[in-house]
């Protein structure tokens, strides 16, 4: 049966130690995509590598990746065209045309941009083109600073109603321990639910050339699971890895099963891709109402505010025990919230939004 597949490959899998694009690695990935296309599947490719590809062009290859946002933006602008040139040539060997799309997580939070992105990708697929997606690193400084294409690929999987998200990396999948320090580390072949313990096992960041690591792969797989998409974390160098992931071949990597209860694209963006500017503390009654009745957060139930967030920024919501149980977009700034917290709706100053966080902009997080 035909499936919609989102396949993401990371920087360290398509560049060498110097940072130059490894043409053979990109060709192998494109050949795997072409094999799926020939089998009747619709494939969207998500690729990293623009920053790593840009560094050698300006004599910065083989050195530590810059950390300031402006340099990263400039380098990504240099590297993106070089990266796409390789993809164009590799797909052409299989009679396929690639179409570049640059996105940032914000594109998934604004309804009109979301619809435009989905329409463009769907039309490319209808035309027989392989969409090749990367973050819009040249202008999206927040995404460079804290983001990675793993999260973006999970958002894309939700966007195109994918059946499968494949996260290709240098490892065979999620292991029980770090193989660099534990010789007995083994592959975790199936995950029914990603827990805090699994997230701890995933560890920290990846290579010097990339921004992700196993932790970001697990986070992306969790996002996919929440949106009802099966995810597979697997080795990019494995022969026929995409075909095996589609077929469900045992041992292909770590398979993360989708949750039965799904959330919308906007709430997925809020929960996983939106940065938090601070915290709002609520009393037990407000917490219970949010958890059990799915209502909006009102000023009356708020007991405290932490941070200097503005209206329309992301906030975490914590209960009396100090534990975060929800996340959302606030309609009131921290400064204004400090003056109205605990007040009933009828006592609010004229023009103040009645809902501090509207239920459509609020998601419960475990």
As a whole number, mean pLDDT of residues 276-286 equals 96
Give the integer Cα–Cα distance in Å for 223 and 27. Answer: 28
Question: Do residues 5 and 164 touch, judged by C-beta distance below 8 A?
Answer: yes
Count of residues in the chain:
366
Predicted model pTM = 0.84
What's the confidence (pLDDT) of residue 317? 98
User: Tens digits of per-residue pLDDT, 26-62?
Assistant: 999 999 999 999 999 999 999 999 988 898 888 887 7
User: Tens digits of per-residue pLDDT, 8-30?
Assistant: 999 889 988 777 889 999 999 99
User: Tens digits of per-residue pLDDT, 83-105?
Assistant: 999 999 999 999 999 999 999 87
Q: Give the percent of the chain with pLDDT over 70.
A: 95
Judged on CB neighbours under 10 Å (0-12, 13-18, 19+), 66 is middle
Question: Do residues 233 and 221 touch, judged by C-beta distance below 8 A?
Answer: yes
Question: Do residues 116 and 154 touch, judged by C-beta distance below 8 A?
Answer: no
* Residue of 116, 118, 94, 151 whose CA lies nearest to 44: 118
As a whole number, mean pLDDT of residues 220-231 equals 94
User: Tens digits of per-residue pLDDT, 150-186?
Assistant: 989 999 999 999 999 999 999 999 998 877 777 788 9
Q: What residue ranges define each of the domains in the chain, with the CATH number in brackets?
A: 4-263 (3.40.1160.10), 275-364 (2.30.130.10)
User: Tens digits of per-residue pLDDT, 127-149?
Assistant: 999 999 998 888 765 544 435 78
Task: With H, G, I as helix, E, B as strand and everything else as coil, classify residue 345.
Answer: helix
């Amino acid at each position: 049966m035909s499936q919609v597949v989102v396949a993401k490959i990371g920087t360290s899998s398509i560049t060498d130690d110097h940072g130059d694009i490894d043409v053979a690695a990109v060709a192998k990935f494109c050949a795997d995509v072409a094999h799926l296309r020939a089998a009747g599947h619709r494939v969207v490719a998500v690729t990293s590598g623009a920053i790593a590809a840009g560094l050698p062009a300006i004599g910065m290859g083989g050195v530590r990746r810059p950390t300031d946002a402006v340099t990263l933006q400039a380098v990504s602008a240099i590297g993106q065209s070089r990266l796409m040139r390789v993809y164009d040539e590799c797909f052409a060997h299989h009679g396929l045309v690639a179409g570049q799309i640059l996105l940032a997580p914000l594109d998934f939070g604004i309804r009109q941009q979301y619809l435009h992105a989905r329409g463009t990708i769907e039309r490319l697929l209808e035309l027989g083109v392989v969409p090749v997606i990367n973050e819009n690193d040249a202008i999206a400084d927040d995404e460079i600073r804290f983001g990675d294409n793993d999260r973006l690929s999970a958002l894309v999987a939700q966007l195109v109603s994918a059946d499968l998200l494949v996260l290709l990396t240098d490892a065979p999948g999620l292991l029980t321990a770090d193989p660099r320090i534990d010789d007995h580390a083994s592959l975790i072949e199936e995950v029914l639910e990603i827990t805090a313990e699994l997230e701890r096992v995933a560890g920290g960041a990846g290579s010097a050339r990339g921004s992700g690591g196993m932790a970001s792969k697990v986070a992306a797989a969790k996002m996919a699971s929440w949106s009802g998409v099966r995810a597979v974390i697997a080795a990019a160098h494995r022969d026929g890895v995409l075909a095996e992931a589609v077929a469900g071949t045992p041992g292909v990597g770590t398979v993360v099963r989708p949750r039965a209860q799904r959330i919308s694209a906007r709430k997925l963006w809020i929960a996983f891709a939106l940065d938090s500017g601070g915290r709002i503390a609520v009393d037990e009654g407000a917490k219970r109402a949010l958890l059990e009745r799915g209502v909006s957060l009102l000023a009356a139930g708020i007991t405290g505010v932490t941070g200097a967030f503005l209206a329309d920024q992301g906030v975490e919501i914590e209960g009396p025990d100090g534990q975060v149980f929800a996340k959302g977009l606030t309609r009131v700034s921290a400064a204004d919230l400090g003056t109205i917290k605990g007040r009933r709706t009828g006592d609010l100053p004229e023009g103040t939004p009645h809902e501090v966080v509207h239920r459509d902009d609020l998601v419960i997080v475990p």
